[in-house]
A = this chain, B = another copy of it.
Amino acid sequence: MVNLQNVERWGRFELALSGPTGGNPYVDQSLQGEFRCGEHVVKAPGFYDGDGIYRVRFMPDREGEWSYTISGSVPELSATGYFNCLPPTGGNRGPVGVSCAAQFAYADGTPYYPFGTTCYAWIHVDEALQTQTLETLAQSPFNKVRMCVFPKHYAFNSADPDHFPFAARQGGGFDLERFDPRFFAKLERRVADLEALGIEADLILFHPYDKGRWGFDALGAETDARYLRYVIARLAAFRNVWWALANEYDFVKGKSIQDWERLLEITAASDPYGRLRSIHNGTKMYDHASVKLFDHNHPAITHMSAQHWDVTLPPIWHTAYGKPIVVDECCYEGNLPQRWGNITGQEMTRRFWDVVARGGYCTHGETFVHEHDVIWWAKGGVLHGESPARIAFLRRILEEAPESARRIPEVNDVPTLGVEGVYYLQYFGIHRPAYRVLELPEGVYFKAEVIDTWAMTIRPVEGLLHGSVRVDLPGREYIALRLTRVRA
């Protein structure tokens, strides 16, 4: 069987083979593809998709002619062939990775600034709501979604989804040795929908929101590993997939740090593309003396996905780990009784700015009381809050900054992002100075703009600045100052 396809770079090549249906193909059979482009070889795992269909999915990372050889546990699961890899089209800039400078960048070199949001269980609700979520995301500033593979059993989340990752067992419960391809088809469709919107899917592989209801937080080591490999075989070829090994890992009873390290290593070893890998903490945010986080120096961790409400910490973590820092939970805009879910839009916006001005990235979530418990943070739907518009404004400001802008630690009284002598973005947050004295280099001229990050206004300061100069500020909260060098 020979397949002739054109595939764009960082797109997906997929091959389907018919194979055995007897026994338990999920466990009994295996297949993998070897893909070659010149001297460059990539091995990609295949998977059983039910109904006697086996698939191998592959993301080619360079243009040109690729050959492949599929081989499996039985002779039917073999194939060879060729395809052409063409230049990327549309918004396809390749997968996001970590750049040399410990920042994120697309594979084509374009910087990627994560402005994520959280919709943990959005694929586990009815179709109409999923469609609405996608429409909302399309209009939003968000370019990353934190979302769970497993369904969620938690406050405001009580319904069963239509399908589960594991096959139902007659008489109840799950057959943990068989997957449900219908579930994965849905998941893949939604990941592809996000891909089409240019949104990264930060896929949460394990989480603690189960507590005996389905048992997905306590599957046992062997099932955990089989599940991981199956998810990776199916989804790693989607260029917008990130592996979030767990959400609030420390809330999962019965898994130790060593277990997480093992699962992380399986994830890294099973994924041909080296997708981004993180693990997200739960508690221990307040007792500073006893903060015990997963050691993010682990070589298989690509970036830190932190939960913390103290948004001044990213520089410390950045120094400790030398990896990008994403504060993936810093509380949510809303009015739930739970303290993690009831901050104002001002506070959410402030936390974004306070993190970004320190060289990290921040993730949004929204949790307003709703008569049918349709809360964005879990189920998606529509956004009600005041922060998304301001997050869009911040994203615009950051995208206007020089690519090489970084936190400038020498400015130690105000978080400042910039390029020395060229560009500075200072954020005053809850502080409201009436003025600021700047010490700029002599002989170089800067234009200054006073940014009201809440009102979303940018007011130019009259004249050009140089040397030691005092800039009057509005004396309100949430002000930033942008200095851009101009030709004198």
Contacts and interface: CB of A to CB of B under 8 A. Distances in A.
Interface stretch (A221-229, A331-339, A375-383): A331-339
B337 A433 contact: yes
A414 B339 contact: yes
A369 interface: yes
Contacts of A339: 413-414, 431, 433
A97 to B, nearest CB: 29
A313 interface: yes
Given A335-B475, A475-B335, A342 B312 contact: no
Contacts of A431: 339, 342-343
A434 interface: yes
A477 B313 CA distance: 24
Given A339-B413, A339-B414, A413-B339, A430 B347 contact: yes
A310 interface: yes
B477 A344 contact: yes
A339 B338 CA distance: 31
A432 B369 contact: no
A413 B331 CA distance: 13
Interface-centre pick from A289, A316, A336, A337 (highest chain B CB count, 10 A): A337
The dominant DSSP class at the A interface is loop
B289 A316 contact: yes
- How big is chain A's contact interface, by range? 20 to 34
A310 B288 CA distance: 11
A248 to B, nearest CB: 16
Given A288-B288, A310-B310, A477-B344, A434 B316 contact: no
B316 A432 contact: no
B434 A369 contact: yes
Chain multiplicity (copies):
2
Given A316-B289, A477-B344, A434 B336 contact: yes
Contacts of A433: 335-339, 342
Nearest to A471: B337
Interface string A285-304: 01111010000000000000
Interface string A412-432: 011000000000000000111
A262 interface: no
Interface in A442-488: 475, 477
A211 interface: no
A384 interface: no
Given A289-B316, A316-B288, A342 B432 contact: yes
A154 B2 CA distance: 81
Contacts of A344: 430, 432, 477
A433 B338 CA distance: 7
Contact of A312 (B286, B313, B337, B343): B286
Contacts of A1: none
Contacts of A414: 339
A475 to B, nearest CB: 5
A436 interface: yes
Nearest to A336: B433
A437 interface: yes
A435 interface: yes
Given A335-B434, A342-B434, A344-B432, 10 more contacts: A335-B433, A337-B433, A337-B435, A337-B436, A337-B437, A338-B413, A339-B414, A339-B431, A343-B432, A369-B434
30 contacts: A286-B312, A288-B288, A288-B291, A288-B310, A288-B313, A288-B316, A289-B316, A310-B310, A335-B433, A335-B434, A335-B475, A336-B433, A336-B434, A337-B435, A337-B436, A338-B413, A338-B433, A339-B413, A339-B414, A339-B431, A339-B433, A342-B431, A342-B433, A343-B430, A343-B432, A344-B430, A344-B477, A347-B430, A369-B434, A369-B435
